Structure 1
């Protein structure tokens, strides 16, 4: 399942989220930086990092842990 990590530049929580994704064995995921995109800024604002699924939608807000990522990704 393809995952998307919505994040900001220079975001220490986003860096932590990437570490959690690696520990969960999430595999490849797409990074989407919301900075400068009005629609994404409006949708995610201060919620980042947010993990999303490309297929079927769904979002997992921070904070999330390894177990939550595995469950969200269906692993």
Structure 2
């Protein structure tokens, strides 16, 4: 299982778009958890101008918005068992 953390805020329409893009991956070994950056000064300072950002908890790699479903799948290819 690969855990993705979505850094964003509750009032972010781009974060909602990102979450919608990840939904079809859930149940295929991908789990998405959301973190509201407003609740942490450190996260707010790091991600304020970048959100939404997905982070792979297995590798620490981050993917900044905007990205397409194709780019997301490429980024997760090893976790999904696909060959590049």
Compute the TM-score of the two structures, normalised by the length of structure 1. Answer: 0.88
Asked if residue 26 in structure 1 is aligned to residue 25 in structure 2, the reply is yes
Which residue is equivalent to 1:50?
A: 53
Which residue is equivalent to 2:8?
A: 7
Counterpart selection for 1:38 from 37, 41, 50: 41
Q: What do you get for the CA RMSD once the two structures are aligned? A: 1.1
CA distance in structure 1 between the partners assigned to 2:7 and 2:52 by the alignment = 6
Q: Deviation of residue 26 (structure 1)?
A: 2.2
- Bigger radius of gyration: 2
Unmatched 5+ stretches in structure 1: none
Unmatched 5+ stretches in structure 2: none
Higher relative contact order (CA 8 A, sep 6+): 1
Q: Report if the CA contact (8 A) 1:20-1:66 is conserved.
A: yes
